[in-house]
Amino acid sequence: MLLFIYGTLKRGGANHARLAGQQYLGEARTVAGFTLYSLVDYPGLVAEPSDQAGVTGELWRVNNACLERLDAFEGLTEGLYVRAAIALAEPPDVGTAETYFYARSTVGRTPLGQHWPV
């Protein structure tokens, strides 16, 4: 499974060890129409029709066992995030990957734009 990550799971991020044994494929960027919000210690990706730049991150190939662990970590059963396909602008030959979309309200959250620093 191809997985686009954009926050604390990235290389150098606080939760990167959760990707141990998986394959890093390189830097990546979504198509326009998405942005990040600060959720204090981590970001949340949401659709943002006015965005013109997309979100930067990394592309990984992960196995099913890792994906199940990440789904639990990202709070899918609690409704914190939803994993779904996202279109990538870079790398140009990939097309789509799965990612974690923030599933709760962003009211009162600080918009970050396209990049979460690690």
pLDDT in tens, 69-114: 999 999 999 999 999 999 999 998 999 999 999 999 999 999 999 9
**Which pLDDT does position 118 carry in this prediction?**
87
- Write the Ramachandran bin of 79: left for phi over 0, alpha for psi from -120 to 50, otherwise beta: left
Q: What backbone phi and psi angles, to 5 degrees, belong to 73?
A: -60, -40
With a threshold of 0.85, does the pTM exceed it? Answer: yes
Cα 72 from Cα 4, distance rounded (Å):
17
Q: Where are the alpha helices (DSSP H) in the chain?
A: 64-73
Sequence-ordered list of residues with C-beta below 8 angstroms from that of 19, at least 6 positions apart, any chain: 5, 9, 60, 62, 66
Query: Domains, the chain, ranges and CATH?
Result: 2-112 (3.10.490.10)
